[in-house]
A = this chain, B = another copy of it.
Amino acid sequence: MTRLTQADCAALDQSDALREFRSEFIVSPEGVYLDGNSLGLLTHAARDRVRTLVEQEWATDAVQGWHKRDWVNLPERLGARLARLVGAHADEVTVADSTSVNLFKLAVACCRANASGKRRKIVTELGNFPTDLYILQGLTELLGSNLELCAVPREQVLNTIDGDTALVVLTHVHYKSADMFDMPAVTRLAHEHGALILWDLCHSVGALPVDLGGAGADVAVGCGYKYLNGGPGAPAFLYVKRELQQRLQPSITGWMGHANPFEFGDDYRPAADIRRHRSGTPGILGLAALDGSLSVFDRVDMQAVRHKSVRLTELFIELVEQECAGHGLSLVTPRDAAQRGSHVSFQHDNGYEIMRALIARNVVGDFRAPDVVRFGLTPLYTRHVDVWNAVAALREVLETGAWQQADYRIRLAVT
């Protein structure tokens, strides 16, 4: 095998079908940002949309903005655009709250709809993103002794799904390893046993084509601030398939989920559609940033994103193995692209210090306890030459032992 060079990477950038999109983002001219799966970069469109929202709409229209500017329907308008990215119908998605709150709402709703008699298991993966585990632990306690949470190692998940399973909750692409579940196959398995399935799309949406409809998935949640570039703590989204929309009752019955909130009546009556899973007044500033960033995605072919993502992750693995061999890094991420999301992770006993040393060199990836360094490859703004430069910095840090001198204690990022 011939050694890859920086020139090879530059040549790949020349033929990159997505290269025009990089100029949509505000990218630092120095360094390499490989943490778009924790917080996506700012787009010019999001910056402009927030400015307009605050400085023209709020400033000029004040309360009348709710109708004049249709803020009141912004969650569903964004949901309809997001739907294309996850293979859903426009009326199956809305934007609301945080991923954690949406996960709570839909998991509770699924348990109420599908748990009874012996069917009382919730199956999930040990080592799943913590909020998924924590939310399920909390709701099992909240809803009482009829439910049992079965959090099992990844390799046992499929065997644990059985006729006693009410709900399966899985993250499509693992936040640490980038391991990807076969969504159609696992969904089919859950359905064969009469279970409902909730997919967490935090590390999938915007990074690869998702086809909830094709898989027959029941419900899903996902994050606005990673690959969707909606800004720090951006509002999250939720999906409920049409066939379930009447059956699933809302869990947090706030006024914005009412069939007619402006009737101001004393009795709750859920909206007939996806809106029933709204709770409080939608946060319009966060929605505005996401509105802007989605206007970039509106023009993106997700197959092209996947194609480049696979190429970038392959390149990253290949270069690390070429440049950094013998320094104790072990690949955590699957080698088979079909089983991999859009980030690459390595285990190293000194992962924490290594990542801090990289960040001091303007190569920003992420550390995930206890010992994983993680690099997110975001096809809309990561270049092949960025991969080269990041790996060159990693090599320098490892070869010189620079990471040993660093003294970094403060944890740096939020997933």
Contact = CB atoms under 8 A, between A and B. Distances in A.
B285 A232 contact: yes
Contact of A33 (B62, B135, B283): B62
Nearest to A63: B39
Contacts of A138: 250-253, 268
Contacts of A186: none
Number of copies: 2
Contacts of A59: 26, 42, 47
A42 B58 CA distance: 7
A55 B59 CA distance: 19
Instruction: Choose among A66, A71, A134 the residue with the greatest number of B CB atoms under 10 Å from its CB.
Output: A134
A245 B251 CA distance: 25
B47 A55 contact: yes
Interface stretch (A8-16, A80-88, A94-102, A385-393): A94-102
Interface in A271-300: 279-289
B412 A267 contact: no
A233 interface: yes
Contact of A58 (B112, B232, B262): B232
Contact of A98 (B143, B263, B267, B279): B279
A326 interface: no
A247 to B, nearest CB: 16
A262 B411 contact: yes
A263 B369 contact: yes
Contacts of A250: 138
A349 to B, nearest CB: 17
A154 to B, nearest CB: 13
Nearest to A46: B54
A225 B66 CA distance: 13
A263 B415 CA distance: 12
A258 to B, nearest CB: 6
A246 interface: no
Interface string A323-348: 00000000000000000000000000
16 contacts: A39-B65, A42-B54, A58-B232, A64-B412, A67-B411, A97-B98, A98-B279, A130-B261, A130-B264, A130-B268, A134-B255, A232-B284, A234-B283, A262-B369, A264-B369, A285-B285
Given A71-B232, A135-B252, 16 more contacts: A39-B63, A42-B62, A58-B231, A62-B364, A64-B412, A66-B232, A66-B413, A98-B283, A101-B101, A129-B255, A138-B252, A138-B268, A231-B284, A233-B286, A233-B287, A281-B414
